[in-house]
Structures are given as C-alpha cells and as structure tokens.
C-alpha cells in the first residue's frame, strides 16, 4: 500500500471515521474490516485446476497487475504454493507485472508467448483480461494454453465462448457490496462488528455454467 494511502487511512481512523476495504485487503490496523473473497484460496483453486487440466511438464505463466494489491499478491502466492506442493513438474515462470492495464497485459502476453514456445498454462491474477485474450487470440495458440482468470465480465465471457478462457474465478460483487453496507451500518450505529462475517465465496465459472 502506498504511504500516502496508509496515512490517509490513519487520519480517517483517528477522526473516528470507519474504513472498510473492498475486494483487496489493506495492511493497516486503521482498516475496520475487509469485504471480499479469500485471495489465497482463489489462487490455490487456480493451481488445483492448472495441475489437473494443463499439459504436464510445460511452462506456466503468471500475470499480476501490481504487487501493491494484497488481493492479487495473495492469489499469486496461493497459486505458487499449490503448484509447488502438488505439481513440481510444471515450470513456473517469473510473474509479469502489467499495472492492471489491458494494453500492457496484451504486450506482456505477447512477450510471454515469444519467450515460452511450450507455454502450457497462464494464470491471470488481476484485471485487463481483454488484453490477454486478444494476445492469445492473435497468436493462434489460445486453445492450446489453459488460461485461468478472474471476474465475470463481457471480456471473459467472450473469451470463454471462443475457447480461449477455460476457467473464471469471479468475485460475487453483489454479496461484497451487501456485506460492506451492513458493516458500515453497524459501525455508524455504534454496534459491535464481532461475529460479522464479511467474507464472500468466489464463484467458479466454466464454459458449461457461464
């Protein structure tokens, strides 16, 4: 987290204003809670799918928007831990940072495809899926590479229809919003947050249930 953001959160907490994180946790005690899905669990789920459905022995690519996003970093760590534990025969490449920008994601995947002619799988931790889908489509290798990404968007749906996107791990946005509103209401009413569950299970989407 950027120091300026950290300072702003501390100032809000000091003024008595509760702050809740959405989608990605914040590593500060000034945050009153986090509404979202477990990133490490999502990453390990992606690892589970990759280890079972990708061609054995090939290289695995990872795209991450930014290491400043704890949610994405947790996904990456979960994916790597699962693959290290259950699929050591698969070779994980260094993660490519693309700033959550579709254009940069497009260039990153192009670079990855050139550098890894035997790429068997790609795990995309963040946003900008349209850039990665475009690069895989143009390469002509999209159907040969197991591609797992996050969030149920028009771009991931289109990629799934084309056979490029194989699995989507989607945040239940409505549930996250409802949990956050409930938590904020309790805080404003002076009610304790103990026992309030703000965690929301992510949805696993395949071509057959999309």
Per residue in 29-85, pLDDT tens? Answer: 888 889 999 999 999 999 999 999 998 888 999 999 998 899 999 999 999 999 999
Q: What residue ranges of the chain have pLDDT lower than 50? A: none
Give the pLDDT of residue 193. Answer: 80
Could you tell me if 142 and 115 are in contact, meaning their C-beta atoms sit under 8 angstroms apart?
no
Helix (H, G, I), strand (E, B) or coil at 71: helix
For the chain, give every residue range classified as CATH 3.40.50.2300: 39-170
**How far apart, in whole angstroms, are the C-alpha atoms of residue 138 and residue 143?**
11
Q: Residue 165: how many CA atoms within 13 Å on its side-chain side?
A: 30
**How far apart, in whole angstroms, are the C-alpha atoms of residue 208 and residue 124?**
21
pTM to 2 decimal places? 0.93
Phi/psi at 199 (nearest 5 deg)? -80, 140
Closest CA to 155 of 142, 143, 145, 168: 168
Q: How far is CA 130 from CA 26, 113, 124, 176, 209, in A?
A: 27, 16, 11, 24, 20
**How far apart, in whole angstroms, are the C-alpha atoms of residue 42 and residue 26?**
18
**How far apart, in whole angstroms, are the C-alpha atoms of residue 129 and residue 181?**
28
- Say which CATH class 39-170 falls into: alpha beta
Give the pLDDT of residue 107. Answer: 98
Return the DSSP state at 110.
H
> How far out from the chain centre does Cα 101 lie?
14
Give the pLDDT of residue 48. Answer: 98
Closest CA to 66 of 98, 33, 106, 19: 98
Give the pLDDT of residue 208. Answer: 94
Percent of the chain with pLDDT over 70: 100
Return the DSSP state at 91.
E
Taken as a whole, the chain contains a residue count of: 210
Give the pLDDT of residue 18. Answer: 87
Helix (H, G, I), strand (E, B) or coil at 125: coil
């Amino acid at each position: 987290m950027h120091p300026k953001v950290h300072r702003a959160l501390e100032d809000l907490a000091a003024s008595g204003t509760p702050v809740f994180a959405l989608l990605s946790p914040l590593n500060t005690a000034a945050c009153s809670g986090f509404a979202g899905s477990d990133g490490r669990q999502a990453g390990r789920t992606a690892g589970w799918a990759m280890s079972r459905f990708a061609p054995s022995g090939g290289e695995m690519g990872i795209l991450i928007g930014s290491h400043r996003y704890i949610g994405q970093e947790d996904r990456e760590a979960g994916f790597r831990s699962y693959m290290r534990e259950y699929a050591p025969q698969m070779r994980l490449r260094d993660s490519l940072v693309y700033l959550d920008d579709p254009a940069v994601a497009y260039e990153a995947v192009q670079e990855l495809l050139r550098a890894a002619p035997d790429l068997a799988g790609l795990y995309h931790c963040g946003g900008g899926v349209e850039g990665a889908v475009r690069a895989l489509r143009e390469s002509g290798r999209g159907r040969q590479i197991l591609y797992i990404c996050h969030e149920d968007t028009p771009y991931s749906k289109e990629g799934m229809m084309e056979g490029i996107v194989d699995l989507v791990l989607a945040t239940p946005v409505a549930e996250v919003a409802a949990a956050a509103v409930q938590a904020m209401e309790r805080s404003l009413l002076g009610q304790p947050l103990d026992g309030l569950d703000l965690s929301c299970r992510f949805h696993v989407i395949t071509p057959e249930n999309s």
